[in-house]
A and B are shown apart, each in its own frame.
Chain A
Amino acid sequence: MTHFLLLTAIYFVVLLGITKPLGSYMARLFSGQRTFLHPLLRPVERGVYRLTGVEEHAEQRWTEYTLALLAFSAAGFVCAFAIQLLQGHLPWNPMGFGTAHKPAGAIPVTPDLAFNSAISFVTNTNWQAYSGENTVSYFTQMTAFTVQNFVSAASGVAMAMVLIRGFARRESKTVGNFWVDLTRATVYLLLPLAFFAALLLASQGVIQNLRPSVVARTLEGSIQIIPQGPVASQEAIKMLGTNGGGFFNANSAHPFENPTPLSNFVEMLLIFSIPAGLTYTFGRDVGDTRQGWALFAAMSILFLVGAGVLFHYEQRGNPLLTQLGLQARAAPGQPGGNMEGKETRFGIADSALFATITTDASCGAVNAAHDSLTPLGGLVPLVNMELGEVVFGGVGAGLLGMLLFAILAVFIAGLMVGRTPEYLGKKIERREVQLAMIALIATAASMLVFTAVASVAQFRQGGYWNPPGAATANLTNGGPHGFTELLYAYSSTSENNGSAFAGLNADTPYYNFTTAGAMLIGRFAFLIPLLAVGGSLASKKRLAITSGTLPTSGPLFVGLLIGTILLVGALTFFPALSLGPVAEHYLMQAGHVF
């Protein structure tokens, strides 16, 4: 308990410390001012513009901006899809995946799997239907997965800038230039931070090489094949870009991805750094930093409550195992609690904090098996995703989601007092609220409808769509926990998180295509309406603040905002959550097993 509180406190203080400097840096960067990295990186930025023919000072309307984003995502998808299917003919494939010399346990990249993984990386979800160490070559990891880790995150930051500019600009037809925002986010923000973070991770033992697997002869004389690869470079951007797709199947629980408690801390910090910084960027750009801190405060409260609940239930342990003689209480020489699915070096506290952070943000990296969390411990990541990943959230997408709720909050407040709502001097009218609701309903419907269909869908056993037969035949766990596996899968993909209750065997055409569909809805049906809101707001006048304006930087607004988020979440997901984790909790207390 003391360790958990201390760890969380240190984490929070460090996060608070980097928010302002990083936020100011991003504000300067995206408004075209010089930063301290310009002497070094300006030639790179200019080189990119020269090679691609981008006109640096040309501005785009929100529609042009969106089309550029869609075109770029489509091109990224084609590349990632093709590279996976052709990896057998491409270099840096020492294990021979996709060739006749592939190792015995290799899993083939089928077109549906390549489709799913390509969508997964382009949408910043990084759902893992693939299993890194026995499916994917180093070339694919670097040029398909690492590249999308960078550019899908850079696209996220770019989209957040559209909405920020929507509030900051007055009577403007344009919202910036996608190509310029994308390039600046990649060159000045993601590359330097990822480079530095990768060195830090490598100092802790994260591997970085292009060698084939190593054969070891163990102490008891058996053979152990130890995979290698360029992991540190992938790991750093995987966390920083809130991507989360692991180099290895076990993701950040794998000792080569996350070898020490310090690397674990660094990885957790990387996840929240840009999303937290963006709240400050937002405040600065709209001319009142308190507005940004108000969002930061609402996020912090939801974050700390979630982490506390998750830790509490994991430390309490699984009563069904405690009665077999296991120790649940932490002691100086052991972590106690529910250790199934957790690593010894992380114990309960460092695992609980990680699980909260990765699902508050749309990261989806995991350092413990979420499927083996206690029912109410596992409820926290599920709820974090279903609330829309607005607690710091994904790079860019998190701020967009939080501003969506801010718009709804002032709208509800406006209804209560009978005034046209305003936020930051911009009138929130029918069009903005309609667009916000489209974004909200599209993702909620995706989560619930896909889950409901998978609960009942039947397929021919041994057929193409789902060889195990019924869609529920792919579950590892029975009873309410099996339902939670499905709900988690579609919540995770619809919110572009990518973590899993991994007992669901999702590498069949049915699951590859439906989760890909959920990822596309979660990215584009959620973000395009918000880009439209940005375009619409940018064209509006900025009204003067009067005595009748709802102040949006104080505790009242923070409370209203949290209330709106919880209300929308509870109304939408309470029935599904009751059928899954809540039912399982009470059945577990009563001693039922499945």
Chain B
Amino acid sequence: MIAVMTVLTGLIYPLLLTGLCQAIFHARTDGSLIRRNGVIVGSRLIGQAFSEPQYFQSRPSAAGSGAGYDPTDSTGSNLGPTNAQLIRRVRAAVAAFRRANPNYRGRIPADLVTASGSGLDPDLSPDAALAQVPRVAAARHLSEARVRALVLSHVEGRQWNLFGEPRVNVLELNLALEDASSGK
């Protein structure tokens, strides 16, 4: 019985689906990859680390070592709410953000300084992206109004107005920013 079930549910079912999905959904079944000049620069679903001031920065990530966003090691920080390491890490992130964005006065958007569950979160909340506009605009010698408009044009609302949270895809935003800079 186990052999028959293995063939039915372990071979026929996934292989039939693989063929069908590839035929119907094409690029999406391969990971929504983004190509520039023939080179794969990433996936719209998988976040990347950005450290330079002229890019919008992603959330902190616990995936892999160093800057994070290592898709071969997806994970959250797993730090509990009373873990001293968590408090230290967030305090450092807040300080770094205030240093890099001295004009920002408000409270810090929570997602901007906390690590996601996967370590690969491709998005920022709209407020977390908008908080970085003055820095990015200055680093790129673009007007703040233009960069702000770019961010707002990349905001995805709740899906069907019902599900999830409004968000901005960081990689797509940064790619659009590159285009805006080179075409100015």
Chain A residues packing against B (C-beta within 8 Å) = 3, 6-7, 10, 44, 48, 51-52, 54, 72, 75-76, 79, 103, 105, 131, 133-134, 142-144, 146-147, 150-151, 179, 182, 186-187, 190-191, 194-195, 198-199, 202-203, 205, 207-211, 213-220, 222, 224-228, 230, 232-234, 237, 248-250, 253-256, 259-262, 264-265, 317-318, 320-321, 324-328, 331-347, 349-351, 366-369, 371-375, 476-481, 484-485, 501-503, 584, 587-588, 592-594
A48: chain B residues at CB < 8 Å are: 1, 4, 8
Q: A207-B30, A219-B50 are in contact. Are A334 and B127 (CB under 8 A)?
A: yes
A250 touches B76 (CB 8 A): yes
Determine whether the beta carbon of B160 is less than 8 Å from that of A262.
yes
Contact B8 A594 (CB under 8 A): no
Over the window 30-45 of chain B, the binary record of Cβ atoms lying under 8 Å from chain A Cβ atoms (1 yes, 0 no) is: 1111000001111101
What residue in chain B is nearest A74 (Cβ atoms)?
B2
- Give the distance to chain B from A171, nearest Cβ to Cβ, in Å: 31
Chain B residues positioned under 8 Å from A479 (CB to CB): 82
Residues of A within 8 A of B113 (CB): 326
Establish whether residues B10 and A142, one from each chain, have CB atoms under 8 Å apart when the complex forms: yes
Known: A202-B28, A324-B90, A332-B166. 11 other contacts (CB 8 A): A48-B8, A194-B13, A213-B72, A254-B74, A259-B32, A321-B110, A325-B107, A372-B77, A501-B80, A593-B83, A593-B84
Q: Which residues of B contact A234 (CB under 8 A)?
A: 14
Q: Tell whether, in the assembled complex, residue A372 and residue B79 are in contact, meaning their CB atoms are under 8 Å apart.
A: yes
Which among B18, B75, B87, B122 is the interface contact of A249 at CB below 8 angstroms?
B75
How far is the CB of A579 from the nearest CB of chain B, in Å? Answer: 14
| Cβ contact within 8 Å between B13 and A195 | yes
Residue of B nearest to A233 (CB): B14
Check A344 against B165 for contact (C-beta < 8 Å): yes
Query: In the complex, are the beta carbons of A150 and B81 less than 8 A apart?
Result: no
Contacts of A262 in B (CB 8 A): 159-160, 163-164
Residue ID in chain B nearest A313 by CB atoms: B81
B-side contacts of A484, CB under 8 Å: 80
A227 and B64 CA atoms in complex are apart in Å by 14
Q: Which residue of B lies closest to A105 (CB)?
A: B72
Q: How far is the CA of A113 from the CA of B3 in the complex (A)?
A: 23
Residues of chain B with a CB closer than 8 A to A186's CB:
5, 8-9
B10, B25, B52, B159: residue with the most chain A Cβ atoms closer than 10 Å = B10
Cβ B5 vs Cβ A151 within 8 A: yes
B137 interfacial by beta-carbon distance below 8 Å: no
Residue in chain B with minimal CB distance to A225: B72
In the bound complex, CA of A369 to CA of B86 (Å): 14
| Complex Cα–Cα for A480 and B81 (A) | 11
> How far does the Cβ of A208 sit from chain B's closest Cβ, in whole Å?
4
Cβ contacts under 8 Å, A324 to chain B: 87, 90-91, 94, 108
- Does B59 have its Cβ within 8 Å of any Cβ on chain A? yes
Interface pair A350/B163, CB less than 8 Å apart? yes
Q: List which B106-160 residues lie within 8 A (CB) of chain A.
A: 106-111, 113-128, 130, 158-160
Q: Are A341 and B82 in contact (CB under 8 A)?
A: no
Complex alpha-carbon distance, A490 and B11, angstroms = 33
A369, B77: Cβ atoms closer than 8 Å = yes
A371 B163 Cβ-Cβ under 8 A: no
CB of A344 within 8 A of CB of B80, answer: no
Q: Are B81 and A327 in contact (CB under 8 A)?
A: no
* Chain A residues with CB under 8 A of B90: 321, 324, 326, 340
**Once the chains are docked, how many angstroms separate the CA of A171 from the CA of B10?**
40
Q: Enumerate chain B residues within 8 angstroms of A256, measured Cβ to Cβ.
A: 31, 45-46
Q: Are the CB atoms of A143 and B127 closer together than 8 Å?
A: no
A265–B29 touching, CB < 8 Å: no
Tell which of B2, B52, B124 touches A72, judged by Cβ atoms closer than 8 Å.
Answer: B2
Q: Across the interface, do B118 and A343 meet the contact criterion of CB distance under 8 Å?
A: yes
Q: Are A255 and B122 in contact (CB under 8 A)?
A: yes
B114 touches A340 (CB 8 A): yes
B83 x A228 contact (CB < 8 A): no
Is A372 touching B80 in the complex (CB atoms < 8 A)?
Answer: yes
B100 at the interface (CB under 8 A from A): no
Q: Select which of A10, A338, A592 is within 8 A of B110 by beta carbon.
A: A338
8 intermolecular pairs with C-beta atoms under 8 Å apart: A75-B2, A217-B40, A262-B164, A321-B110, A324-B91, A328-B110, A335-B125, A485-B80
Chain B residues with CB under 8 Å of A334's CB are 109-111, 125-128
Q: List the B side residues contacting A144 at CB < 8 Å.
A: 10
**Contact flag A340-B86 (CB < 8 Å), given A79-B2, A103-B72, A255-B46:** yes
Residue from A7, A105, A344, A481 in contact with B121 in the complex, judged by beta carbons closer than 8 Å: A344
Which residues of B have CB within 8 Å of A350? Answer: 163-165
Instruction: Report chain B residues within 8 Å CB of A254.
Output: 74, 118, 120
With A208-B21, A320-B81, A327-B110 as contacts: A346 and B45 at CB distance below 8 Å: no
Complex contacts, A210 vs chain B, CB 8 Å? 18
Q: Closest approach, in angstroms, between the C-beta of B106 and any C-beta of chain A?
A: 8
Q: Is the CB of A341 within 8 A of B33?
A: no
Contacts of A321 in B (CB 8 A): 86-87, 90, 110, 114
Q: Is B123 in contact with A345, judged by CB distance below 8 angstroms? A: yes
Q: Which of A10, A208, A371 meets B162, CB within 8 Å?
A: A10
**A407 nearest CB across to chain B (Å):** 32
The answer to whether B72 touches A227 (Cβ under 8 A) is yes
Cα distance, A70 to B45, chains bound together (Å): 42
Question: Would you call A588 and B73 a contact (CB within 8 A)?
Answer: no
A217, B35: Cα distance in complex, Å: 10
Contact A344 to B10, CB < 8 A, known contacts A203-B25, A224-B42: no
Bound complex: CA of A253 vs CA of B78, how far in Å?
Answer: 13
8 shortest A-B CB distances, which residue pairs? A261-B164, A253-B117, A369-B76, A261-B163, A347-B165, A503-B78, A481-B80, A250-B74
Does chain A have a CB within 8 A of B101? no
Whole-angstrom distance from the CB of B36 to the nearest CB of chain A?
9
Q: Is the CB of B10 within 8 A of A146?
A: yes
Tell me which of A191, A220, A346 contacts B9 (CB under 8 A). A191
Complex: chain B residue closest to A228, CB-CB: B31
Set of chain B residues within 8 Å of A72, measured between Cβ atoms:
1-2
CA distance A195 to B21 in the complex (A): 11
Q: In the bound complex, what is the Cα–Cα distance between A209 and B18 (angstroms)?
A: 6
Cα–Cα distance between A371 and B59 once the two chains are bound (Å):
19
Known contacts A79-B2, A227-B71, A343 near B117 by CB under 8 Å: yes
Is B77's CB under 8 angstroms from A202's CB? Answer: no
Which residue among B6, B55, B63, B79 has the maximum number of chain A CB atoms within 10 Å of its CB? B6
Which of A207, A218, A224, A367 is the most central at the interface, judged by chain B CB atoms within 10 Å of its CB?
A224
Cα-based distance from A593 to B70 in the complex (angstroms): 29
User: What distance in Å separates the Cβ of A470 from its nearest Cβ neighbour in chain B?
Assistant: 19
Evaluate contact between B17 and A341: CB separation under 8 angstroms.
Answer: no
Query: In the assembly, what is the distance between CA of A72 and CA of B2, in Å?
Result: 7
Name the residue of chain B whose CB is nearest to the CB of A95.
B72
B2 contact set on A, CB distance < 8 A:
72, 75-76, 79, 147, 151
Q: Are B87 and A233 in contact (CB under 8 A)?
A: no
Contact between chains at B107 and A327 (CB < 8 Å) = yes
Asked if B18 contacts A208 (CB within 8 A), the reply is yes
